[in-house]
A and B are shown apart, each in its own frame.
Chain A
Amino acid sequence: MDHHQSSSEVTVHHAPGGKEVVQKIIRTTVILSVITLIELALGLGMYLMPNASSALILFIKGVIVILSLLKAFYIVGVFMHLGEEIKNLIMTIIVPLLLFVWFIAAFLLDGSSWRNLRNTNGKSKTEQVVSGSKAEKITPAEGH
């Protein structure tokens, strides 16, 4: 039986390796597990340092985000075999994802702008900042 299904479009099949592929999978599994453990350690670290400065917290969170992107890279590149595809295919998948940059930036910027508006417009500023939910509880009554 030949590769009937794919023969019309696909010319050369990937040559699947033997042992070295399994080794690569195991190596990737270890990497993913280790990264996850580091992430957890950092997450717990933030929990154990309740008095850490907000800049440090932000830095740790940034590191965690980068580590997650690294995990995504390994899952897509090795497990999903994207790394072995033709470069143009990789580009057609990676390049559109760049739209996420402006997607995320614009949404989050507007989100923090709403917080600003909520905290500064119409309501008692101090009350809002001390406890968001407490002040919001009062609002409907005021509005009424």
Chain B
Amino acid sequence: MSSATIDQKPVVPEEIKSFTVTLIIRRFNPEVDDEPHWQDFDVQMYPTDRVLDALHKIKWEQDGSLTFRRSCAHGVCGSDAMRINGRNRLACKTLMKDLDITKPIYVEAIKGLPLEKDLIVDMEPFFDSFKAVQPFLMNSVTPAKGKERIQTVAQRARFDDTTKCILCAACTSSCPVFWTDGQYFGPAAIVNAHRFIFDSRDENAAVRLDILNDKEGVWRCRTTFNCTEACPRGIQVTQAISEVKQAIMRGKA
């Protein structure tokens, strides 16, 4: 054997430093509290950890009563939308290194929907708006046996952006018009209407345009772009709403 191996030092990976992060979480227990209150927790985190990991650490090691929703934990299910440092984000897609950890991180439930407990809100009003735009394919023609409904690449690309929605409610609960009385359909419902209005295989664009031509429909949009900024999937939400407005004015998709 050659002696070369003796000279080689074992490769020790550089130690990744962890640091202490303070999270200030808006807690609310409907059985005990009259009002929500802020509570702070210190956790040891790595730069590559996510806010969701911090919440897990708190729940598993410090306070098991902390309540929040999460399912896939990888930015697909849309369960863990919350307000992190005043902005609507998915806790599972927000890394510690992207936040200013010299200051505490404020975490609270999304706004505009009834608060149920800690970081959990009642999503039913949100889903009611979603259902109201009839978000399903409507087509009276049955394709020939064994055939599909054919669509060109360009026709598919027309509504590609709005197919990405995961219904996390980050956009709708960032909209100041939705905060006021909750009557507005909200960006997410309009995005999902857009997905079918501009689908060449769908026949009922006129019905959805009529629904969104309502007093509480697209005309309440003030183009503040909060929704586009909040969307964890990068959907151009405000643009989609404007396209629906244009379609209503022209009377067709």
- The answer to whether A and B assemble together is no
**Residues on A facing B (Cβ under 8 Å):** none
